[in-house]
Amino acid sequence: MNKGIVYLVGAGPGDPALITLRGAECLQMAEVVVYDYLANEQLLSHAPATAERIYAGKIGGRHNQGQEEINSLLVEKATEGKIVVRLKGGDPFVFGRGGEECEALYDAGISFEVIPGVTAAVGASAYSGIPLTHRDITASVAFVTGHEDKEKGESNIDWDRLSLGGGTVVFYMGVTTLRQNMQRIIEHGRAPETPVALVRWATTPCQQVLVGTLSDIADRAEECAFKPPAITIVGEVVSLRDKLQWLDKRTLCGRKIIVTRAADQAGEFSSKLAARGAMVLECPTISLVDPENWQLLDMAIRDLSGYDWIIFTSVNAIRYFFKRLDALGFDARAFGNCRICTVGSKTASEMHSFAIKPDLIPSNYTAEGVVEEFSRLDMHNSRVLFPRADKARDIIERELKKMGAYIDSPVTYRNIFPERLPPETLFALEKRSVDCITFTSSSTVKNLAAMLGEELLLDMLKGVVVASIGPITSKTCRDLGLKVDIEPDVYTTEALIQSIEAHFN
């Protein structure tokens, strides 16, 4: 059997967007992913669903698997002929024990490739606004382990040069030995008033920065129970943070926000919240699937040019409709002279992606807005197609029929419950650590209530800011007993984000 290959991929310091293009490529090829505690689990989404995922992390100094076991695991999987990705936090060759793993692979005759990552010191420096070097302050920087091997007997660190050189010193994973390390630097000649910064969970929305001096940083860390994982930056460059910090100034910095959209729709919304500094917990309460049968929609598509109007009230309706249109062997030419109404700017934009310009976009992004627009037209004997979700409101059908229109409304997709809610979201709600929850449709509200139970939902959301995308969703919230704190004037996710920013600022 041909032996496989192992890719040692640096996952970066925490922000999943900081992985290299090559690192993402390797994950996309992976048949096995062995990942550790400091590798952001969101990166696993790059790997195929069929890839085996093995956690080999280390939490609070306790190894889930020892290094020898990890080495053997990599050799074993590669010997089976598999493509293995060893996903390591930071950079594999900077305090990542990547060298030891490569030696084991070399000894076993296994091919390997090392893909560098943004190491913790560099990530923490950039995201905390503390440059490691500065032309007016220092031209040197040293990376030092905060934990030396206890079995070595004596230190391999040259404390004299480290302390007297005047350059920036960065300790990796040294929170538990902070007092000892700071005292050693002072004892070897560095001034006690030298600025120090601790950076925890660098580059993530959870990032925390604690600033002090060599003489008092350990006391400060104990007072606020500053926990690992964190790095320690020592040097005059720390004083530049007041000017250069940028992450902390984001409008939603440190806010924990739950997004309840369907899993395949949450990405863009979540990314925009995260870009504003929020820690986003995705909690899909909707799973979108095909209708139980396509018969009615197929009949409508085959007669598409015979309709006067087609109404799309959501991006999902367009996507599922065009998927079926393509499956039946048709394209946009099938619309003929049929005019198109889309509800909302996002829905219109989705239609533009198929090179079709909507004929009508109601100014009010609700079913009532659609009815109001069509009430201005002569709809008598008009044929209208309304591809809809299985749980859509009936107001459009009902009111257009009153206007004399003939309307067909085939189910184009179904809205079902996901199998379960993410445990990290439930844990955050139980800990009362959530700042805001967003609802972008009535279905997201109803489904969450059904999955949790109405009583538990109300209890868990006590003190949590409720952000609703519009009046229909808000009414559903209120009907369940929830107080709606945020509702934008324009019913789009972008407007919802802006309203959330305004509320917290």
Q: What is the mean pLDDT of the chain?
A: 90
Residues 309 and 352 in one domain: yes
Q: How many CB atoms lie within 10 A of CB 489?
A: 8
Q: How confident is the model at residue 60 (pLDDT cuts 50, 70, 90)?
A: very low
Report the domain count for the chain.
4
Asked if residue 245 and residue 144 are part of one domain, the reply reads yes
293: left (phi over 0), alpha (psi -120 to 50) or beta: beta
Of 389, 415, 441, the one marking the end of a domain is: 415
- In the listed set 86, 101, 118, which residue is the last one of a domain according to the structure? 118
Note whether 342 and 263 are same-domain residues: no
Range with the poorest average pLDDT among 32-36, 57-61, 312-316: 57-61
Q: In the prediction, which pLDDT does 148 show?
A: 63
Active-site residue set:
36, 58, 173
Same-domain pairing of 311 and 398: yes
How many whole angstroms separate alpha carbon 44 and alpha carbon 10?
13
Q: How confident is the model at residue 420 (pLDDT cuts 50, 70, 90)?
A: confident
281 & 424 share domain: yes
Q: What CATH number is associated with residue 105?
A: 3.40.1010.10
| pLDDT confidence band for 262 (50 / 70 / 90) | confident
Do 267 and 289 touch, CB atoms closer than 8 A?
A: no
In this prediction, residue 133 carries a pLDDT of 95
Do 310 and 423 sit in the same domain of this protein?
Answer: no
Phi/psi class of residue 411: alpha, beta or left (left: φ > 0; alpha: ψ in -120 to 50)? beta
Cα–Cα distance, 56 to 69 (Å, whole number): 9
| CA–CA gap between residue 336 and residue 201 (Å, rounded) | 56
pLDDT 10s digits, 116-175: 999 999 999 999 999 999 999 999 999 998 776 555 556 778 888 888 877 999 999 889
Residue 113: both structure tokens together = 């490739």
Tokens matching residue 139: 């031209």
Residue 59's pLDDT is what?
A: 46
Contact by Cβ (8 Å): 485, 502: no
| Listed range (31-45, 80-94, 144-158, 240-254) with the worst mean pLDDT | 144-158
Cα of first residue to Cα of last residue in the chain, in angstroms, is 61
Which residues have C-beta within 8 Å of that of residue 171, sequence separation ≥ 6?
144, 145, 146, 181, 231, 232, 234
Residues 82 and 146 in one domain: no
Asked if residue 126 and residue 236 are part of one domain, the reply reads: yes
What pLDDT, on the 0 to 100 scale, is given for residue 375?
A: 92
Residues 6+ apart with CB under 8 A from 227: 175, 200
Paired tokens of 307: 């309709």
Residue 461, domain CATH: 3.40.50.10090
The one-character DSSP state at 362 is -
Q: Which domain holds residue 44?
A: 5-118
Q: Of residues 389 and 116, which shows the higher confidence score?
A: 116
User: Sign of the CA dihedral 223, 226, 231, 237?
Assistant: negative
pLDDT at residue 485 in the model: 97
CB atoms within 10 A of CB 320: 22
Confidence at residue 150, expressed as pLDDT on a 0 to 100 scale: 58
**Containing H/E element for 287?**
strand 287-289
Are 467 and 496 within 8 A, CB to CB?
Answer: yes
Query: Per-residue pLDDT tens for 322-339?
Result: 999 999 999 989 998 999
Helix, strand or coil for residue 329?
Answer: coil
* Token duo for residue 202: 């660098």
266-311 tens-digit pLDDT: 678 888 998 898 888 888 887 888 999 999 999 999 999 999 999 9
Residue that is written with structure tokens 């509200």 in the block: 445
95 and 150 housed in the same domain: no
Give residue 286's identity as a one-letter amino acid code. Answer: I
The predicted-structure confidence for 482-492, as pLDDT tens digits, reads as follows: 999 999 998 88
For 392-415, write each residue's pLDDT tens digit. 888 899 999 999 999 999 999 988
Checking if the pLDDT of 467 tops 70, the result is yes
Question: Are 494 and 344 a contacting pair, CB within 8 Å?
Answer: no
Inform me whether the pLDDT recorded for 63 exceeds 60: no
Classify strands 406-408 and 383-385 as parallel, antiparallel or unpaired: parallel
What's at 51, amino acid-wise?
A
What does the pLDDT read at residue 2?
A: 67
Both 305 and 411 in one domain: the answer is: yes
74-97 tens-digit pLDDT: 999 999 999 999 999 999 999 989
Q: Quick one: pLDDT at residue 42? A: 79
- Residue 363 above 90 pLDDT? no
Residue 160: predicted pLDDT = 87
Residues β-bridged to residue 233: 170, 197
Backbone angles phi, psi at 231, to 5 degrees: -115, 160
89 and 159 share one domain: no
Among 118, 134, 167, the domain-final residue is: 118
**What average pLDDT does range 362-369 have in this prediction?**
86
56 and 44 assigned to the same domain: yes
Stretch 452-475: mean pLDDT, rounded? Answer: 93
Summarize pLDDT for 189-219 with one digit per residue, the tens.
Answer: 999 999 999 999 899 878 899 999 999 999 9
pTM: 0.68
